[in-house]
Amino acid sequence: MKSKIQVIFVTAVFLALAVWAWFKPADDISDSELRKLAQFPEVKAEKIFNGQFMSEFETYALDQFPMRDEFRTVKAVVYLYAFRQLDNNGIYVENGYAAKMEYPLDEEAESYAFGRIQNVYNKFIADSNANCYIAIIPDKNYFLAKEHGALSLDYDRIFNDVKKEASFAQYVDITGLLSIEDYYRTDTHWDQSCITDVAEYLAQSMGTELEGTNTVKTIDAPFYGVYYGQAALPMKPDTVNYVTNDAIEAAQVFDWQNSKPIPVYDEAKIYERSPYDLFLGGSLSMITIDNPLATTDKELVVFRDSFGSSLVPLMISGYKKITVLDIRYLPGDRIGSFVEFDNQDVLFLYSTAVLNNGKTLK
């Protein structure tokens, strides 16, 4: 009798979960992972005989499993708290901040990144009167690794490599202005409202003064950053703040990738899959920002990754025109077709994570 009840109960739960998996409508997107989910594979004799159908079905079954995110949270909790693992899928949480364990240093990738930057300089900037600057943004591991006991890059070595490999540019050290509180808890990026001092310091290093009074606005919507999904841990969402001033309000931004004007901040993006895209439209290969209120003729060209999207608006008040280029999407060899270098300030602004994955640069 005892075993009968046990078998019936366990089998019922097991079969219920199985039947749910069979009949659950397929989701298109994983919001927590920001990726498309596999759909039921096409049934074709050829695909069955070469095993492709089975392989695709396995991916589909994993991607579409009922309560997938909740199961991933169960795994993360068991992994981190029962097994006392120091990271889950390379992500760890320290003092409420989720960070990716960026390790080890990929020397080849770093060298490649320097090669691409040098290539842009040699081809288009070296013979101009432009003034070059370079600043490196440390990833969150820089601040948290020691306390957590996580492995981390040799940051001193990276900063020294930058000085050596990009000696054509003046190195601007911004690390002293940053702390972990300047970053979102659930995301890789920094919080724009916390980096006005960084913008001022960069402007000052380039001989420019930022004008106007900044106002911080808060978006009333939860922001679940990229690490929220990857860590799969129960974490509170962040709040997104953005900084505005007269110059930012008046700025005219043009997206050359899609040939259309865009706003500096697009609040609607916070509800989309990449909320950080609210800053300058997100990952765009080339945009220009004109400042009609400018009291100077100075121009700035910024080579940047996603961190630059939130920093660049803070620089608007100091320049008449800013050109923002992302050579992860726009091949460095084609820059000359879009920008003529002549007496501008040129800022290379990259995060350590991008340098360590430098092969993303074109």
Partner 1 sequence: MLFSSIPFLFYFFPIVLICYFAVPRVAKNAVLFLSSLVFYAWGEPRYVLIMLASILVGYIAGILIEKLKGKKSQKVVLGVAIAMCIAALGYFKYVDFFITNFNAVTHLSVPLLRIALPIGISFYSFQIISYLVDVYRGETTAQKNFIKLGAYVALFAQLIAGPIVRYSDIAKQLTDRKHSFEQIFQGIKRFIIGLSKKILIANVLGELVDVFRKTSEPTVGFYWIYAVAFSLHLYFDFSGYSDMAIGIGRIFGFDFPENFNYPFISGSITEFWRRWHMSLGSWFRDYVYIPLGGNRVNKIKWIRNILVVWMLTGFWHGAEWTFIIWGLLFALLLMIEKTPFGGFLKKCKPVAHIYVTMIILLSFVLFNSGGVSQMVGDFKGLFGAAGIAGWNAQTGYYLRSYAIVILIAAIGATPLPTKLITMLQSKMLGTDKATIAVWSILEIVFVLGLLIICTAFLVDGSFNPFLYFRF
- Residues of this chain that bind partner 1 (CB under 8 A): 2-7, 9-11, 13-15, 17-19, 21-22, 48-51, 54, 57-58, 61-62, 65, 68, 71-76, 78-79, 82-87, 89, 103-104, 149-151, 232
> CB of 33: closest distance to partner 1 in angstroms?
11
Look at residue 171 and give its three-state secondary structure. Answer: strand
| Cα Rg, the chain, nearest whole Å | 24
Give the other-Cβ count within 10 Å of 251's Cβ: 21
Nearer to partner 1, 3 or 129 (CB): 3
> CB of 228: closest distance to partner 1 in angstroms?
15
Nearer to partner 1, 106 or 211 (CB): 106
What is the C-alpha separation between 119 and 211, in angstroms, rounded?
A: 34
The closest alpha carbon to 228, from 189, 193, 267, belongs to 189
What does DSSP say about strands 345-351 and 299-304: parallel, antiparallel, or unpaired? parallel
Nearer to partner 1, 107 or 181 (CB): 107
Contact between 69 and 157 under an 8 Å Cβ cutoff? The reply is no
What is the C-alpha separation between 354 and 306, in angstroms, rounded?
A: 10
> CB of 34: closest distance to partner 1 in angstroms?
16
Nearer to partner 1, 152 or 291 (CB): 152
Nearer to partner 1, 71 or 271 (CB): 71
100 Cβ contact list (under 8 Å, min separation 6): 90, 91, 139, 140, 141, 188, 227, 230, 353
> CB of 131: closest distance to partner 1 in angstroms?
38
> CB of 17: closest distance to partner 1 in angstroms?
6
Contact between 307 and 267 under an 8 Å Cβ cutoff? The reply is no
Nearer to partner 1, 76 or 314 (CB): 76
Nearer to partner 1, 153 or 300 (CB): 153
Q: Kindly report the CA angle at 221 between 218 and 225, in degrees rounded to 5?
A: 100
The closest alpha carbon to 327, from 362, 353, 281, belongs to 362
Q: Enter the tokens of residue 145.
A: 């690794």
> CB of 71: closest distance to partner 1 in angstroms?
4
What is the C-alpha separation between 102 and 145, in angstroms, rounded?
A: 10
> CB of 86: closest distance to partner 1 in angstroms?
4
